Amino acid sequence: MKHQTYIFFLFIFCLCSCKKFVDVGAPKNQIASAQVYTDDRTATSAITGIYSQMISSGGFVSGSQLSIGFLMGLSADELKDYSNGPDLAPFYTNAVIPTNAPLKNNLWQEGYKYIYDANSALDGLNQSASVTDATRSQLMGEAKFIRAFCHFYLVNLFGDVPLVLTTDYQANNIAPRTSKATVYDQIITDLQDAKKLLAHDYAFAGGERTRPNKYAAQALLARAYLYRQDWVNSEKEADSVIANGDQYTLSDDLNTVFLANSLEAIWQLQPVLPSLNTNEGQIFILSTAPTSAALSDNLLNAFEPGDNRRKNWIDSIIVLSVTYFYPFKYKVQSGTPVAEYSMVLRVAEQYLIRAEARAQQNNLDGAKADINMIRHRANLPDVAGNDLPTMLEQIQHERQVELFTELGHRWFDLARTASLDSVMTVVSATKGSSWSAYRNIFPVPQTEIQNDINLHQNPGY
């Protein structure tokens, strides 16, 4: 990916530099077709460059302090804010307003930027006669995957959002909000298409798990179906990923899960900046008192005695007799060689998805089997309980301690299970703030509403 980055940045600079997602000017399709999609190599560079942006731009996907994982960790009950800054503190106190800078720049705009890039790639691939059929299929699958991935997070952050399927700047400039149900329909359609177009293995990426394949599409499909409470299809897609055990398996050693090309990885982002492994390692690992965030007591208290995840994925530092705990899933704070990649999709989540889907279909034994796969690796006994409410509670507990600080899972789990109000009412007291139910989704950035006559604000803001 590194040798392809320059080509992409040149292309992106020409094609879609923007102040807001709809304010991109007339798309330069002639440049895209004639210069970027002249052969397999340059076409591939246009797609892989999007992944480089995702991990180097400092927002949306990657683990910087302006990414989904970090901001949602602050908003939920995973992180404690030590920044006291005007940008991050409102996420921690659940008091984000429409003029918040990361809300606009790093959540809304970045998400739509990648959607625009994906749409532009689809246009270019459709117009090009020079890209081979095999490469065209793979790249179109990746573009549809990227579009679905970004729409998934946008709709879960903001509720009804514009559904952007074109590079037509005039249409995008007045795009209205689309119902959440319709956005999900398109997410599923894109992922179903991607599943058919994408390769089964990672040979197209030189064996690196840094580009989505068929199983990445199925993994995200399993999650999308879970969020829509389509238990049958959620189980089906997760089962397909898990069944591919020669390619994906739970790592016995918790300290190897987040290594580059871990057998648990379905899709990772490869670092591209010099002397840097992952943004997560750089931001989360503490060598002095925190200036952004540390782990909250709420998360620390969620672990059962003897849980190896508590032992291996959390570390601490003592500064002036104060102990600060931090995520230690990634072991390298900085430096080379690159040993870790940023995890986006991994097989442990698929076991938890399948467990929940099975439980909701009253297959409690099957759900138990999946939960116990996760618990046994953590050195914990079999799950107790034989009724559906207890099983669902146990699954959410396992998701909390397995997926913490990974791309906002905790916040989105609380929201989709209608638990956000009850949990955050209690948590807000520990944050010195108060909770209002309308904050289960974020405000639309004020500048977007001012520039798009068809956008309206979420209630309460």
The pLDDT score that the predictor gives to residue 30 is: 39
The residue-averaged pLDDT of 66-75 equals 95
Q: Report the C-alpha gap between 447 and 240 in whole angstroms.
A: 43
Flag whether pLDDT at 371 surpasses 70: yes
**Average pLDDT value for the chain:** 91
How confident is the model over 312-363, as pLDDT tens digits?
999 999 999 999 999 999 999 987 789 999 999 999 999 999 999 999 999 9
What CATH number matches the domain at 2-272+342-451, 1.10.287.3510, 3.40.50.2300, 3.40.630.30, 1.25.40.390?
Answer: 1.25.40.390
Peptide bond into 337 cis (omega under 30): yes
Q: How confident is the model at residue 289 (pLDDT cuts 50, 70, 90)?
A: very high
Tokens at 210, concatenated: 């840094």
The pLDDT score that the predictor gives to residue 60 is: 86
The pLDDT score that the predictor gives to residue 25 is: 38
The pLDDT score that the predictor gives to residue 13 is: 38
3-state helix/strand/coil string of the chain: CHHHHHHHHHHHHHHHCCCCCCCCCCCCHHHHHHHHCCCHHHHHHHHHHHHHHHHHCCCECCCCCCEHHHHHHHHCCCEEECCCCCCCHHHHCCCCCCCCHHHHHHHHHHHHHHHHHHHHHHHHHHHCCCCCHHHHHHHHHHHHHHHHHHHHHHHHHHCCECCCCCCCHHHHHCCCCECHHHHHHHHHHHHHHHHHHCCCCCHHHCCCCCCCCHHHHHHHHHHHHHHCCCHHHHHHHHHHHHHCCCCCCCCCCHHHCCECCCCCEEEEECCCCCCCCCHHHHHHCCCCCCCCEEECHHHHCCCCCCCHHHHHCEEEEEECCEEEEEECCCCCCCCCCCCECEEEEEHHHHHHHHHHHHHHCCCHHHHHHHHHHHHHHCCCCCCCCCCHHHHHHHHHHHHHHHCCCCCCHHHHHHHHCCCHHHHHHHHHHHHCCCCCHHHHCCCCCHHHHHHCCCCCCCCCC
How confident is the model over 422-442, as pLDDT tens digits?
999 999 999 999 999 999 999
The pLDDT score that the predictor gives to residue 334 is: 83
Flag whether pLDDT at 220 surpasses 80: yes
pTM score, two decimals?
A: 0.93
CB contact at 8 A, 135 and 44:
yes
How confident is the model over 106-133, as pLDDT tens digits?
999 999 999 999 999 999 999 999 999 9
Q: How confident is the model at residue 63 (pLDDT cuts 50, 70, 90)?
A: low
Sorted by sequence, the CB contacts under 8 Å of residue 353 that are 6+ apart come out as 222, 223, 226, 234, 235, 238
Q: CA angle 230-264-386, nearest 5°?
A: 50
Q: How confident is the model at residue 17 (pLDDT cuts 50, 70, 90)?
A: very low
Q: Report the C-alpha gap between 109 and 107 in whole angstroms.
A: 6
The pLDDT score that the predictor gives to residue 446 is: 97
